[in-house]
Every structure is written in structure tokens, then in C-alpha cells.
Amino acid sequence: MFMVILLMGVSGSGKSTVGRLLADVLEWEFSDADSFHSPANIIKMRQGMPLTDDDRSPWLEALRRAIGIWLQEHKNVVLACSALKQSYRQMLELDRSHVKVVYLKGSFTMIADRLAHRQQHFMNLDLLKSQFEALEEPTEGLGVDIDQSPEAIVQQIKSRLSL
């Protein structure tokens, strides 16, 4: 069976770190949704300006197309993607039997501390508050607390998804 794991959460929750590690352990492909953003969106975020739904629309369409291709090609992919709103996740969950949402959840304080120490990333710490305000925690899928090591998170995901 093939699967796309949509690893979601606010910036600083560990999507890229956990996603790369999970993909390595499973020997799957890894993709970061940040690479699908337009240069204009990245500039806007670097300037501390939250994206609007209009800004995100082409980004979500590009992600939806990529997921569709991966599913057609029966690829196993771990996709790190904020997917903060339920409507975004619905757009990306093309086939729930093959697209699994994993929510990396943590407190504002913990994630703000992580972001304060992170370098070489376009996400401005000031935007974290707007991300938490926009976040609609999933009621379906798998939720994993991020107050543990990336390796422990990966093991928990593998176990709970029976991988």
C-alpha cells in the first residue's frame, strides 16, 4: 500500500525535522510544502506579514496537484505542510485511505522558544501568534505531542499508523 503522510502544525512544531527523519526511516520521499510557496509569499512572511487565503490559494493548488501525482504514481511521501485550517486539509486529503494527517502539537511557549533559536528560515517569530490564531486543530487523524525527541515522535507515528 502507498501513502502520503501530511505532517501538519504551526511553524516550529518540527514538521521538517520529523518529516525528514520519518522519510529516512521508512525509505520514503520527503517534500516540504515551503518549497511550493511563491517568492512573493516568502517575502511577505519574512516581513512579518501573515498570508491571506488568497495568498495561500495558488500554494494549496500546487500542493493538491503534487499529492494527486504522488497518488497516481503510488508513491510513498512524507509532506511537511502547515495545513492550519480544516478547509486546507480537506483540499489536500484527496483520498483518505491514502492521505493520512499527522498533527504535531505543542504549546505556544515551547514553539516560540524553538523559533527564537532557529536560523536560516523565512518564518518570522512575530507570525507565530497569527498561526496559532488561524490553527483549527484536526478532529480526525493522528495527534502527536512534540514534547519528546524527534526519534520518539517518529516511532510513535510509525506505531500508530502501523508502518
Domains recognised in the chain with CATH numbers: 4-160 (3.40.50.300)
93 to 7, 17, 90, 97: CA distances (angstroms): 12, 22, 5, 9
> So what's the pLDDT on residue 114?
83
- Cα–Cα dist 22/73, whole Å: 20
Yes or no: say if 50 and 133 are a contact pair by the CB < 8 Å rule. Answer: no
Strand partners, 105: 145
Task: Return the amino acid letter for 136.
Answer: E
Q: What is the pLDDT along the chain (163 residues), one digit of tens a residue?
A: 899 999 999 988 999 999 999 999 999 999 999 999 999 998 888 787 888 999 999 999 999 999 999 999 999 999 999 999 999 999 999 999 999 999 999 999 999 888 877 665 555 566 788 889 999 999 989 999 999 999 999 999 999 999 9
Q: What was the pLDDT predicted at 119?
A: 60
Cβ contact 124:46 at 8 Å: yes
